[in-house]
Amino acid sequence: MDTLKLSERLAPLKGKRILVTGHTGFKGSWLTLWLRELGADVVGIALDPPTSPALYDVARCGDGLVDHRQDIRDAAAVAKIFSATQPQVVLHLAAQPLVRASYTQSRETFDINVMGTVNVMEAARDTKSVVAFVHVGTDKVYENVEQARGYRESDPLGGHDPYSASKAAAEIAFQSYQRSFFNVAGRPLAASGRAGNVVGGGDWAKDRIIPDAMRALAEARPIPVRNPNSTRPWQHVLEALSGYLTLAAELVNRNKQALGSWNFGPPDDNVKCVGELVKELVAVWGSGAWQHTPEPGAVHEAKLLTLSCEKAERELGWAPRWDFRETVRRVATWYQAVQSDGDAAALCRRDILDYMNG
């Protein structure tokens, strides 16, 4: 991205019919707004927005897109949508993405994350119009050995909790389709993007630190913090999306160097513990406090996980843009503005344009 502006880099997506699974979710909502900005024609497949409120509704993400409320576990229905809409690009985000929910809904998590992914890949493989397929993974696909160095794309996959294991299994299914079906004449070129926890305005999910923190600050309560010493690579949602969109644009351009799996993480300095994150959120918000609230009998949560993005930087020319302070500033000011009746769609658009043109 050094030589070409990001907006120029993503220009191949202009006018393309792009099918997004999980478009009603947190990342999917930001993605549909960004694709609209790029002049793409979006088709969505997802269930109803997973939270209330939801960014999808609050930022009117459904305006102008073809919205299919469809469970991806139904292979025939998914195939029918592909056949009817003839997308050129597929971005597959739909998943049961919550670690804690995966302990109580383990079968469902595997069904959606593994077989749902297989169903979407089958449909992409059988639809002649599809030229590019981007699978959305996670940093949790790596076997977490609590090592200090960032995980590389070549590190072993694995997973302790059902969510991580299901995403690692989905990644193995993706690799199988990659080797067996994609990337040959008449079939899509395919890549997988792996990012860590993302943050940004409009996340209202349960059991995620930013939504928990924003709810607490808005209600003038101390932010409840389960694990203040857990270290995470804090990354704005637009950083991860810029990785997926870069892959999609490169695949549309038939750049075979973009095939395979890619880590998209934040700068090393963004690796901070939850305690530092909440301190910074309170500072930007201008008031408030946080409180350590350990949970007796809490489920296992991995302590340390960072990604090495050397491959994406070296071979794709992708680099993260927003440091820790800028990331936290964008998040806290977004929620504060919406709380004071700011227009969520306009706030997202401002972040997207600043990110793309910055």
Ligand X SMILES: NC(=O)c1ccc[n+]([C@@H]2O[C@H](COP(=O)([O-])OP(=O)(O)OC[C@H]3O[C@@H](n4cnc5c(N)ncnc54)[C@H](O)[C@@H]3O)[C@@H](O)[C@H]2O)c1
* Residues of this chain that bind ligand X (CB under 6 A): 22-28, 46-47, 50, 71-73, 93-97, 112, 116, 136, 138, 167, 195, 197-198, 205
**Please, which residue, 59 or 340, has the CB nearer to ligand X?**
59
**Please, which residue, 7 or 85, has the CB nearer to ligand X?**
85
Residue nearest to ligand X (CB): 25
**Please, which residue, 23 or 36, has the CB nearer to ligand X?**
23
Cβ 207 to ligand X shortest distance, Å: 11
Cβ 237 to ligand X shortest distance, Å: 7
Cβ 95 to ligand X shortest distance, Å: 3
Q: Are 167 and 138 in contact (CB under 8 A)?
A: yes
Strands (E), the chain: 17-21, 41-46, 66-69, 89-92, 132-136, 189-194, 198-199, 223-225, 231-233, 235-236, 260-263, 271-273, 290-292
Q: Which two tokens stand for residue 146?
A: 């609590």
**Please, which residue, 13 or 72, has the CB nearer to ligand X?**
72
Number of neighbouring beta carbons within 10 Å of residue 267: 17
Contacts of 218 (CB under 8 A, 6+ apart): 335, 339
Q: Are 55 and 203 in contact (CB under 8 A)?
A: yes
Cβ 49 to ligand X shortest distance, Å: 7
Cβ 4 to ligand X shortest distance, Å: 26
**Please, which residue, 178 or 263, has the CB nearer to ligand X?**
263
Contacts of 290 (CB under 8 A, 6+ apart): 213, 216, 222, 223, 224, 225, 228, 275, 278, 279, 282
Burial (Cβ within 10 Å: 0-12, 13-18, ≥19) of residue 295: exposed
Q: Are 26 and 102 in contact (CB under 8 A)?
A: no
Q: How far apart are the C-alpha atoms of 268 and 234, rounded to whole Å? A: 10
Cβ 264 to ligand X shortest distance, Å: 10
Q: How far apart are the C-alpha atoms of 200 and 195, rounded to whole Å? A: 14
Cβ 123 to ligand X shortest distance, Å: 13
Identify which of 82, 289, 77, 307 has the alpha carbon closest to the alpha carbon of residue 196: 307
**Please, which residue, 30 or 285, has the CB nearer to ligand X?**
30
Q: Are 24 and 44 in contact (CB under 8 A)?
A: yes
Cβ 250 to ligand X shortest distance, Å: 20
Q: Which two tokens stand for residue 240?
A: 């991860």
Q: Are 81 and 70 in contact (CB under 8 A)?
A: yes
